[in-house]
Amino acid sequence: MGGLSTLDLVVIIAYLAGITAFGLYVSRRVKDTEGFFMGNRRFGKSLMVAQALTTGTRADYAIGVAGASYEIGMAGIWYQWMYIFSTPFFWLLSPIFRRMRYTTTADFFEERFSKSLGIGYSFFALYLFMLWQGTIIKGAALTIAGITGVSETGIVWGVTALFVLFGVAGGLVATVNTDFIQGIFIIILSFMLIPFGLNAIGGFSGLHARLDSQMFSLTAGTEELSLFHVTMLVISGLVGIVAQPHHMAVAGSGKTEMNCRIGWCYGNFIKRLCTIGWALTGLIAAVLFVGAYDHKSRELVFGAMIKQLLPPGLIGLMIAAIIGTVIASCAAFMVSGSALFTRNLYKKYLKPAGEDAHYLLVGRIVSAALTIGSLLFALYMPSVIQATLIFVKTVALVGVPMWAGIVWARANSSGAWASLIGGAAVFLTAWLLRWTEAWQMLASLLVSFALVIIVSLMTRPEPADRLQRFFTLLHTPVGEEGNLEHAELKVAAD
C-alpha cells in the first residue's frame, strides 16, 4: 500500500489492535463521569506530568513546527514556543483550577457569571472540539500523504471513517485511555528522526555548511514571524490558556495542589523541550529537500522525512502511532462534545425529563454533527499552522472574561458578554480590513479588556452571594474542605 512494506502494515495492524485491547482493559475502571473527566481527582505528580505532556502533544504540532522551520528556519519554533512564557504561569494557575472544584470550564462561567455565559461557553467549546478534531485529522493526513503518496483528501476521509467506526464498535471510550502510550510514541519517534537525519547530511557541521546562517536564528526576524507577531502570539497564548476546555481536567485533576502545579507546569516544560526537536527536524529537512516544498506544501516534509529516513517497521510504527492519536483524540473530543451538548445544554434546558434512550439518540446525532464539522475543518483549512493561529486568536477572546472573573470581583456577566462580542467584532473587522494577524490580536484584546472593565463598572455587580461562593472556593486550599462546610457550601460530584 502506497510504498509501505509488509512489515510496516503488520506493525500498523498489531499496534492498533494492541492499543484497543489495552484501552478496553483500562476503561473497565472508569465508573462515572467524575472518573471519566477528572480521574476522581486522585492523580499523583508523575501521572499529572504525563497527562499534561500527552494530552497536549499531538502529531500535528510536530508537523506544523517542522514545516515552518523547513521554510523559515529555527524561528518556526515559535508556533509552539508561543506558550513558553505562559508556562511559569501554569504554576500559579493550576491551584486556582483545583480549588474551583468544577468539572468543566462551562461550570466556571455559569457559577461565576451567569447561565447564559455557561451556555455560550458550551457552544464555544463545541466549536473548539470541531477545530481540534479537524486539525488532528489534517495533520495526520498530511503526514501519511507525505509517506505513502496517497491523496490528502482520501486520507482525511479514511481516518475519519476509522475513528467513527471505532466509536460505533464500542472502542471509543477505550481508546481514550491509550492517549498516554501514543503520546510517548509520538515523542520518541519525533526525536528518532534527528539522528537518522543528521547522519544523512553529515552531522551538525553539514547542517551549517548547507544552510544560510539566518536559518539558525531564534529571534524571529522573518517576514512570516516578526518580533511583534511573536509577542502577540505569546500574549494571546497566555490570555487564552485559561479558557481551553480540557485544561480544567489537565490542571485540576491532581490529588493535591502541588501535584497539579508540578504536573501542568513541568509536563509542559517537557513539551517545550520536544519542540526544539521538531524545529531541528525541520532544519534537517531544509537540507534534505532543498526547494521541494513551497509555503503551501511545507507541512508534508515531516512525512517525507519519515519515509526517507526511517527503516521498515519504524515507518509503520510511526503511522500507527499517528492514526492511534487521531482515533483516541478525536474519539475523546467527540465524546466530550456530545456529552457537553446532551448533558449541559439539551438535558438541562431543552428536555429535562427525557428517557435515556432519547438522550443516547441526541448524543449520537450530535456526534455525527461534530464529525461533519471537523471534516469540513480538515478539508478546507489551509494548513495546521493556520488552524493553530485561528485557535490561539479565538480562545484568547474567551480568556479575557475568565481572567477578569478570577482577578476582579467587580467583573460581571454584562461586562463578560460585552467583552466577548466587542472583541469578536473588532477581530472580524480587522480581518476584513486585512490588518496583519498581530494587529488583529492586539486590537481585539485591547477592546475586550476595555469592555469588560467599562461595562462591568456601568452595570450592576453580580449578586453578593454568588461572589461569596466563588471567592470562598478560591480561598479554600485543598485539604481545608471543612471551611467550605462552615461557609455553607458543598461540593457535589457532578
Partner 1 sequence: MIEEKKTETRKISDIAPPIPRSKLEEEGHSLLIVDLLRLAKTFSYRRYRLDVIGFLLAWLWVALLLALGYWITRIGA
C-alpha cell, 482: 471543612
Q: Which one of 5, 217, 222, 429 is in contact with partner 1 (CB under 8 A)?
A: 217
Q: Of the two residues 72 and 140, which places its CB atom closer to partner 1 in the complex?
A: 72
Interface with partner 1 in residues 374-413 (CB under 8 A): 406-410
The least distance separating partner 1 from the CB of residue 269, rounded to whole angstroms, comes to: 5
Stretch that binds partner 1, among 226-234, 275-283, 302-310, 324-332 (CB under 8 A): 275-283
x-or-dash string of contact with partner 1, 59-88, rule CB under 8 A:
---------------x--x---x--xx-xx
Q: How big is the chain by its Cα radius of gyration, in Å?
A: 23
- Cell match 473587522: residue? 429
Stretch that binds partner 1, among 7-15, 184-192, 199-207, 355-363 (CB under 8 A): 199-207
Q: How far is CA 455 from CA 106, 111, 249, 284, 420, in A?
A: 22, 20, 31, 52, 12
DSSP for residue 255: S
355: contact with partner 1 by CB under 8 A: no
> What is the identity of the amino acid at 95?
P
The least distance separating partner 1 from the CB of residue 168, rounded to whole angstroms, comes to: 31
218: contact with partner 1 by CB under 8 A: yes
206: contact with partner 1 by CB under 8 A: yes
- Residue 43 phi/psi, 5-degree rounding, is -75, 140
234: contact with partner 1 by CB under 8 A: no
Q: Of the two residues 107 and 224, which places its CB atom closer to partner 1 in the complex?
A: 107
Q: Are 137 and 156 in contact, with CB atoms under 8 Å apart?
A: yes
x-or-dash string of contact with partner 1, 96-115, rule CB under 8 A:
x--x-xxx---x---x----
The least distance separating partner 1 from the CB of residue 467, rounded to whole angstroms, comes to: 5
N- to C-terminal Cα separation, the chain: 47
Q: Of the two residues 437 and 481, which places its CB atom closer to partner 1 in the complex?
A: 481
The least distance separating partner 1 from the CB of residue 227, rounded to whole angstroms, comes to: 15
The least distance separating partner 1 from the CB of residue 108, rounded to whole angstroms, comes to: 10
Q: Of the two residues 24 and 467, which places its CB atom closer to partner 1 in the complex?
A: 467
Q: Are 63 and 384 in contact, with CB atoms under 8 Å apart?
A: yes
Helix boundaries (H) for 211-313: 227-240, 247-252, 257-288, 301-309
Stretch that binds partner 1, among 150-158, 198-206, 328-336, 424-432 (CB under 8 A): 198-206
- Cell match 511573536: residue? 230
Separation between Cα atoms, residue 398 and residue 401, nearest integer Å: 6
450: contact with partner 1 by CB under 8 A: no
The length of the chain in residues reads 494
349: contact with partner 1 by CB under 8 A: no
The least distance separating partner 1 from the CB of residue 481, rounded to whole angstroms, comes to: 11
Separation between Cα atoms, residue 419 and residue 440, nearest integer Å: 15
Helix (H, G, I), strand (E, B) or coil at 336: helix
DSSP 375-425: HHHHHH-S-HHHHHHHHHHHHHHHHHHHHHHHH-TT--HHHHHHHHHHHHH
- Cell match 480581518: residue? 431
227: contact with partner 1 by CB under 8 A: no
Helix (H) or strand (E) holding 95: helix 87-100
Binding site residues, partner 1, CB under 8 A: 74, 77, 81, 84-85, 87-93, 95-96, 99, 101-103, 107, 111, 203-208, 213, 216-218, 257-258, 261, 265-266, 269, 272-273, 276, 279-280, 406-410, 461, 464-465, 467-469, 471-477, 479-480, 483, 487-492, 494
